[in-house]
């Protein structure tokens, strides 16, 4: 069907073969319940009324006394960090602590868009790494994350956007990120339901990334959790970190609602609550937390098989596999930790989208929700050492974190294991002091 299929099939079998050798070891560790998912397993279970499916991941209720590394936050980024610590660096004595439930923060609240069409080189590097890891994630994790590279269009609706996106397309060509500038007729061909004639903002073209798309957000968290658990890591839910213990400027452990735990290294990967956790460790972060909302319509028949982002009018939309139109908009203009946003932002977003897609005008909206996003001074993330030795922070993904999950985890794991990573060098939290911004928001006209 597509060029990746052959490679993925061979990867699947390669992964499968490796796994067979690992099975006795996992058995000794006490994680024998995890079975590989495959067409054969589905057939086998169909024959016995699906009585043989084990737990997808172990559910330890109490943490151990000490771990080599603790990751705070069992969302996509935290779990991916833990996964690559184990997979790439062999560090498996790891706990992932989650105050709520697995993937229940922004990982479960975003609009699942994956793209890497950024202007600045450090952004292109980490987001394209991430996008490419999504390509094989289902095979790597043996868990179907439903990655759907259906293509992403960012609409140009003003002259400055035309210039901006053409510039980005040229930058992407130099960075090795495959994107192209497309004319309005091609936009209409890709999205027949779009009204490209205005009235307020006619579509003047777009930046097209054919291998961008969507994935199943919960499955990304679940897949990583299952793989982490399989490596012997502890994913501990309902375990809130209440304090960070340091000694001589170095981290020694955390206090939690399930007791004190010691660790050599601590990774803070808590998105909107990064400032709150950093304060417990005695330092501050250059960021603010605001609410970002999304909503979905009632399910309808397939009508749009690409992701469309319209940054001037501030709305983006895709159709989920269930048929719901998934819609995202802008952030609130003030600090907020309540996971709900202001109604007028929904109104603004929907008004813009109804203008661009007249046929959705009579759709009913089913659900609306908010998440707390962490926005830095230059709208780019922070993956960094901190003033406390042994504490690393991964935050500031703001309104675009989902697409970055695997790349962020990959880079953060390298940073935690080796103390540096080429992907995180320019994302350190001290860049603001020197004015070395990674200025995506203004340069690329990205919606925020």
Q: Is 28 in the site for other proteins (CB under 8 A)?
A: no
Kindly indicate which of the ranges 3-11, 95-103, 132-140, 334-342 contains the residues binding other proteins, using the contact rule CB under 8 A: 334-342
The correct pick among 52, 333, 358, 361 for binding other proteins (CB under 8 A) is 333
CB 401 within 8 A of CB 106: yes
Q: Is 276 in the site for other proteins (CB under 8 A)?
A: yes
Q: Is 439 in the site for other proteins (CB under 8 A)?
A: no
Q: How far is the CB of 355 from other proteins (least distance, A)?
A: 19
Kindly indicate which of the ranges 140-148, 222-230, 284-292, 296-304 contains the residues binding other proteins, using the contact rule CB under 8 A: 284-292
Q: How far apart are CA 300 and CA 376, in angstroms?
A: 37
Q: Is 342 in the site for other proteins (CB under 8 A)?
A: yes
Residue (60 or 100) nearer to other proteins, CB: 100
Tokens representing residue 425 in the block: 């060098």
Closest C-alpha among 85, 112, 110, 88 to residue 96:
85
Q: How far is the CB of 388 from other proteins (least distance, A)?
A: 16
The strand ranges marked E within 302-364 are 307-310, 315-319, 325-335
Long-range contacts of 346-352 (CB under 8 A, 24+ apart): 346/293, 346/295, 348/314, 349/293, 349/295, 349/314, 349/315, 350/295, 350/315, 352/310, 352/313, 352/314, 352/315
Q: Is 443 in the site for other proteins (CB under 8 A)?
A: no
CB 163 within 8 A of CB 229: no
Residue 371: enclosing H or E segment and its boundaries?
Answer: strand 365-376
Q: How far is the CB of 308 from other proteins (least distance, A)?
A: 26
Q: How far is the CB of 429 from other proteins (least distance, A)?
A: 10
Neighbours of 373 (CB within 10 A): 26
> Binding marks (x or -) toward other proteins, 118..157, rule CB under 8 A?
----------------------------------------
> Binding marks (x or -) toward other proteins, 361..390, rule CB under 8 A?
----------------x-------------
The correct pick among 21, 301, 322, 433 for binding other proteins (CB under 8 A) is 433
Q: Is 442 in the site for other proteins (CB under 8 A)?
A: no
CB 187 within 8 A of CB 155: yes
Closest C-alpha among 341, 350, 294, 290 to residue 109:
294
Q: How far apart are CA 35 and CA 42, in angstroms?
A: 11
CA angle 242, 337, 83 (to 5 degrees): 60
Whose tokens are 């609009």? That residue is 111
Kindly indicate which of the ranges 199-207, 253-261, 333-341, 404-412 contains the residues binding other proteins, using the contact rule CB under 8 A: 333-341
Q: Is 285 in the site for other proteins (CB under 8 A)?
A: yes
Q: Is 281 in the site for other proteins (CB under 8 A)?
A: no
Q: Is 81 in the site for other proteins (CB under 8 A)?
A: no
Residue (143 or 437) nearer to other proteins, CB: 437
Kindly indicate which of the ranges 21-29, 228-236, 261-269, 335-343 contains the residues binding other proteins, using the contact rule CB under 8 A: 335-343
Closest C-alpha among 201, 364, 399 to residue 294:
399
Q: Is 256 in the site for other proteins (CB under 8 A)?
A: no
Whether the link from the prior residue into 42 is cis, omega within 30° of 0, is no
Q: Is 289 in the site for other proteins (CB under 8 A)?
A: yes
Residue environment code for 377-392, b if the CB has 16+ CB neighbours within 10 A, otherwise e: ebbbbbbbbbebebbb
The correct pick among 89, 181, 369, 432 for binding other proteins (CB under 8 A) is 432
Q: Is 344 in the site for other proteins (CB under 8 A)?
A: yes
The correct pick among 131, 216, 273, 314 for binding other proteins (CB under 8 A) is 273
Tokens representing residue 178 in the block: 């495959």
The correct pick among 45, 68, 288, 355 for binding other proteins (CB under 8 A) is 288
Residue (243 or 333) nearer to other proteins, CB: 333
The correct pick among 55, 163, 284, 351 for binding other proteins (CB under 8 A) is 284
Kindly indicate which of the ranges 138-146, 167-175, 236-244, 281-289 contains the residues binding other proteins, using the contact rule CB under 8 A: 281-289
Size of the site for other proteins (CB under 8 A): 22
Neighbours of 110 (CB within 10 A): 23
CB 422 within 8 A of CB 101: no
Q: Is 351 in the site for other proteins (CB under 8 A)?
A: no
Residue (301 or 433) nearer to other proteins, CB: 433
Q: How far is the CB of 97 from other proteins (least distance, A)?
A: 18
DSSP secondary structure string for all residues of 221-268: HHHHHHHHHHTT-EEE-S--EEEEEEETTEEEEEEETTEEEEEEEEEE
Binding interface with other proteins (CB under 8 A): 273, 275-276, 284-289, 332-338, 342-344, 377, 432-433
């Amino acid at each position: 069907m597509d060029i990746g299929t052959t490679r993925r099939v061979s990867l699947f079998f390669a992964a499968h073969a490796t796994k067979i050798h690992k099975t006795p070891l996992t058995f000794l560790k006490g994680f024998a319940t995890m079975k590989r998912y495959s067409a054969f397993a589905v057939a086998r279970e169909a024959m016995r009324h699906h009585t043989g499916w084990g737990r997808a991941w172990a559910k330890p209720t109490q943490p151990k006394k000490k771990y080599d590394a603790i990751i705070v936050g069992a969302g996509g980024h935290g779990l991916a960090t833990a996964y690559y610590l184990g997979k790439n660096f062999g560090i498996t004595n790891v706990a992932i602590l989650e105050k709520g439930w697995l993937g229940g923060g922004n990982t479960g609240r975003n609009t699942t868009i994956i793209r890497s069409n950024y202007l600045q080189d450090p952004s292109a590097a980490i987001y394209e790494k991430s996008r490419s890891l999504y390509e094989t994630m289902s095979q790597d994790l043996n868990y179907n994350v439903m990655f759907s590279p259906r293509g992403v269009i960012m609409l140009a609706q003003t002259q400055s956007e035309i210039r901006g996106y053409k510039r980005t397309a040229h930058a992407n060509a130099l960075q090795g990120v495959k994107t192209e500038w497309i004319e309005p007729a091609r936009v209409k061909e890709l999205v027949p339901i779009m009204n490209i004639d205005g009235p307020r903002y006619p579509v003047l073209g777009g930046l097209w990334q054919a291998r961008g798309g969507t994935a199943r957000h919960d499955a990304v968290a679940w897949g990583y959790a299952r793989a982490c658990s399989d490596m012997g890591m502890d994913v501990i839910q309902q375990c809130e970190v209440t304090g960070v213990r340091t000694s001589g400027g170095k981290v020694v452990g955390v206090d939690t609602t399930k007791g004190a735990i010691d660790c050599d290294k601590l990774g803070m990967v808590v998105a909107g609550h990064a400032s709150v956790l950093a304060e417990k460790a005695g330092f501050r972060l250059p960021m603010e937390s605001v609410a970002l909302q999304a909503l979905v319509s009632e399910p309808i028949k397939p009508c749009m098989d690409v992701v469309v982002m319209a940054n001037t009018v501030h709305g983006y939309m895709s159709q989920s596999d269930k048929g719901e139109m998934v819609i995202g908009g802008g952030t609130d203009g003030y600090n907020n930790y309540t996971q709900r946003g202001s109604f007028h932002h929904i109104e603004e977003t929907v008004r813009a989208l109804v203008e661009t897609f007249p046929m959705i005008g009579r759709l009913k909206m089913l659900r609306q929700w908010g998440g707390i996003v962490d926005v830095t001074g230059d709208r780019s993330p922070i993956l960094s050492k901190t003033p406390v030795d042994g504490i690393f922070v991964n935050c500031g993904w703001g309104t675009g974190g989902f697409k970055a999950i695997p790349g962020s985890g990959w880079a953060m794991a390298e940073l935690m294991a080796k103390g540096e990573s080429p992907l995180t060098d320019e994302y350190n939290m001290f860049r603001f002091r020197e004015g070395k911004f990674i200025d995506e928001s203004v340069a690329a006209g990205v919606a925020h």
